[in-house]
Amino acid sequence: MNIMNSADKDLQENPPEEKSKLGVIVHSFFIIPFLIAVFCVLIFAGVRILTKEPHTVYDYIEDIKVGSLSKRWQAAFELSKILVNKEKVPREEAFVREMIAAFEHAKHDDARIRQYLGLAMGRSEIKAFVRPIEDSLSTESEENLPSLIYALGLLKSRDTATSIHDFINHPDTRIRLLSVMALGNIQNPESVPFLQKALNDTEVNVRWDAAIALAKFGDDSGYSVLRNLLDRDYLAQFPEVDSYEANEAIVVAIEASILLNHPQLNETIYQLSENDENIRVRRVALKAVKMSTDKASTQTQNSL
Give the tens place of pLDDT for each residue, 111-147: 999 999 999 999 999 999 999 999 999 999 999 999 9
120-143 exposure pattern, b = at least 16 Cβ within 10 A, e = fewer: bbbbbebeebbebbbebbeebeee
3 vs 115, residue with greater confidence: 115
Task: Assess whether pLDDT exceeds 60 at residue 18.
Answer: no
- Domain annotation covers residue 70: no
- The predicted pLDDT at position 197 comes to 97
Task: Assess whether pLDDT exceeds 90 at residue 304.
Answer: no
Percentage of the residues of the chain whose pLDDT score is greater than 70: 79
Contacts of 121 by beta carbon, 8 Å cutoff, 6+ apart: 99, 103, 129, 132, 133, 151, 155
- Domain annotation covers residue 48: no
28 vs 161, residue with greater confidence: 161
The whole-angstrom separation of Cα 257 and Cα 225 is: 10
- The predicted pLDDT at position 234 comes to 97
Residue type at 291 in one-letter notation: M
Q: How far is CA 21 from the centre of its chain?
A: 65
The whole-angstrom separation of Cα 266 and Cα 288 is: 9
List C-alpha distances in Å: 251 to 9, 150, 196, 244, 283: 88, 21, 22, 11, 10
- Domain annotation covers residue 241: yes
- Domain annotation covers residue 192: no
What angle is formed at CA 187 by the lines to CA 186 and CA 189, rounded to 5 degrees?
A: 135
Lowest mean pLDDT, pick from 25-29, 113-117, 204-208: 25-29
pTM of the model: 0.78
- Domain annotation covers residue 39: no
pLDDT band at 55, cuts 50/70/90? confident
What angle is formed at CA 297 by the lines to CA 291 and CA 303, rounded to 5 degrees?
A: 135
Residue 279's domain comprises 222-298
Residue 194 contacts residue 183 (beta carbons within 8 Å):
yes
- Domain annotation covers residue 252: yes
Length of the chain equals 304
- Domain annotation covers residue 235: yes
Lowest mean pLDDT, pick from 28-37, 114-123, 154-163, 200-209: 28-37
- Domain annotation covers residue 246: yes
Q: What is the biggest distance separating any 2 CA atoms in the chain, rounded to whole angstroms?
A: 122
Structurally, how many domains does the chain consist of? Answer: 1
